[in-house]
Amino acid sequence: MRGHQAPDGAGTACAGWVKGVDTPGSEDPRSFYLLTSDAGYGRPSFDEGLRPGVVVNASQAETSLAWVRAVEHDPRCLGLIANHDPEIAPGALSLPPSSSSPAAPVD
């Protein structure tokens, strides 16, 4: 699992970047949409830092939201998608091709 151990010593795995692989701003041509799950419930959560109201651990929820807000500024991030965001229209999203993508099979 990617990430690091929580500073509280609880042994809880936290999301993080893998140095040299996922470092924000590195020379990686890949792009992505970040599926935020329940870290935030829509644009106001991300713009204003509003975490969900009902959480198991408020500190961990705030850490998750802060991580999502930081990742949004990565130039490779094409957008954030929250599970419960009423502003996200149903449909398919496409990633642009990159030089690191495997070639499509030829029939």
Domain ranges of the chain: 43-89
pLDDT tens digits for range 1-33: 234 444 444 444 455 555 555 555 557 778 899
CA-to-CA distance for 41 and 52, rounded, in angstroms? 7
Its sign, for the CA torsion 53, 59, 73, 82, is: negative
Q: What is the pTM of this model?
A: 0.64
For residues 45-74, b (16+ Cβ closer than 10 Å) or e, as one string?
bbeeeebeeeeeeeebbebbbebbbebeeb
Q: What is the DSSP letter of 27?
A: S
Q: What is the pLDDT of residues 54-96, one digit of tens each?
A: 889 999 999 999 999 999 999 889 999 988 888 888 888 888 8
